Amino acid sequence: MKDITPDLLYQFRTSYDADAQAQVLHAALAKTDMAELSYVPGAAAKLKGAFSVEVKTRGITAQQKSGRCWLFAALNILREKVAERCSLDQFELSQNYLSFYDKLEKANNFLEMVIENTDAPLKGQLMQYVLRGMTDGGYWSEAVDLIEKYGVVPKQVQPETYQSNHTDRFVATLNRLLRKDAMELRQLIKDGKDPYARKAEMLQEVYKAECIAFGQPVQTFDFTYRDKDGNYHEERDLTPLDFYQKYVGLSLRDYVAVINEPTADKPLDTPIQFHAVENMTGCDMKALNLSQAAMEALCVKQLKKGQAIWFACDAGAFGARKEGIWDPDSVCYEALLGGFSIAMPKGARLEYNSSSATHAMLLTGVHFDADGKPDRWKIENSWGKDVGDQGYFVCSEKYFQEFVYEAVIDRCHFSPEQAALLEKDPVIINAWDEDY
């Protein structure tokens, strides 16, 4: 059978007309949001309650309508160190400050990749990947590179603007500019001319546009605050790197991105590496691919030591945003639409583009069942306090196993055997094959 024939359509209609349950579901869906009808409150209720292990954090942040979850999560790890050192109940680092440099570095890397690959076919896979342009998104590796180069500043020093909170139009416009620049650079090189003077002018345009949209990044600032006992503190003329070194003081290279990506191109117990448009020039994405059980055990170990965990998952899978739940038993779209199955092995879901890591947050707690095994996880999200439990979410163990793809682990929690894996030669993959 190649075509949809009248006989086949008659068979479909007859089957549907005889299905009373399908008629009821149609009536319900005709006037109700699928998200409301797919929610199973009885299953979700089993995920509520306190956690066996909880890490205290200092408040929910809100990325608004931007894709900066990865940066919010990374800075929320760092803010805890500042708050501890300064004895603060509440504190937040400026996401806008680092987001400015993130876009500038992405623009620079985009233009550099165009120059370096000027002989690559325009319609080839590499150039089509590059020409997708930048996004607001990113991962832990990028955050580390940015922080080590540019430092961090308190939020009051570089506050948000409307554009930093609503980035779609700006990023889309910037990508149109960069694609025009790519065309010009390729022609310059084809004509035998040096592209780098023109590239600097192109970056100047990007910098100016960012200053207009987000504000020019501060170079020095005064840090003043009152601690929770009411004592006043002031330090003048800090640079962002000064502030990072003095008030954060974390060695970010001690933290390793651990992924569970069971796909054919990523062997387990092996470092993975690739260079993406999102990277800075000269920097790569790096991660250690471990089994799901190994990644989960490391997460438990880190939480028990009182350390929150930057992690990435598929936020589009089985999520109830209002209720703050991620769980296949609590959000059942397939049952609502006739009872088909969308089950696939974790690796196959990645390979067939059915899933990927789309959102980064912090793991801040875990609950154990009667056998001492995890059955639910506490999550600090960056979607504000109006969703979930005052901004906190929970995911089931079933969701964690299938849809959590990356967790950033302090290497002090690695076993000697796992630490030795970091010394192996990495498997280099194509950036367009990235799944995390």
pTM: 0.96
Q: Are residues 347 and 234 in the same domain?
A: no
- pLDDT at res. 434: 74
Q: Are residues 140 and 197 in the same domain?
A: yes
- What Cα–Cα distance (Å) separates residue 285 from each residue in 27, 235, 275, 288? 48, 36, 6, 11
- pLDDT at res. 435: 64
Mean pLDDT of 147-163: 98
Catalytic member of 275, 283, 289, 359: 359
Q: Are residues 414 and 424 in the same domain?
A: yes
Residue 347 lies in a domain: yes
Residue 10 lies in a domain: no
- pLDDT at res. 281: 96
State the chain's mean pLDDT as an integer. Answer: 96
Catalytic member of 69, 283, 299, 395: 69
In SS3 terms, 382-429 reads as: CECCCCCECCEEEEEHHHHHHHEEEEEEEHHHCCHHHHHHCCCCCEEC
Residue 233 lies in a domain: yes
Domain count, the chain: 2
Task: Among 221, 250, 279, give the residue marking a domain's end.
Answer: 250
Q: Are residues 265 and 391 in the same domain?
A: yes
Mean pLDDT of 18-39: 95
Residue 23 lies in a domain: no
Residue 356 lies in a domain: yes
Q: Are residues 272 and 311 in the same domain?
A: yes
Residue 181 lies in a domain: yes
- What Cα–Cα distance (Å) separates residue 232 from each residue in 56, 202, 244, 268? 24, 45, 20, 52
> What's the distance, CA 252 to chain centroid?
17
CATH number at residue 150: 3.90.70.10
404 CB-near residues (< 8 Å, 6+ apart): 260, 295, 311, 312, 313, 395
* Catalytic residue status for 381: yes
Task: Among 250, 268, 284, give the residue marking a domain's end.
Answer: 250
Given pLDDT bands bounded at 50, 70 and 90, which one contains residue 436? low
Catalytic member of 109, 381, 395, 413: 381
Summarize pLDDT for 60-100 with one digit per residue, the tens.
999 999 999 999 999 999 999 999 999 999 999 999 999 99
- Identify the sign of the CA torsion 320, 314, 139, 83: positive
* Residue 406 domain boundaries: 33-62+251-436
Burial classification of residue 267, based on how many CB atoms lie within 10 Å of its CB (0-12 exposed, 13-18 middle, 19 or more buried) = middle
* Catalytic residue status for 359: yes
Q: Are residues 300 and 203 in the same domain?
A: no
* Catalytic residue status for 412: no
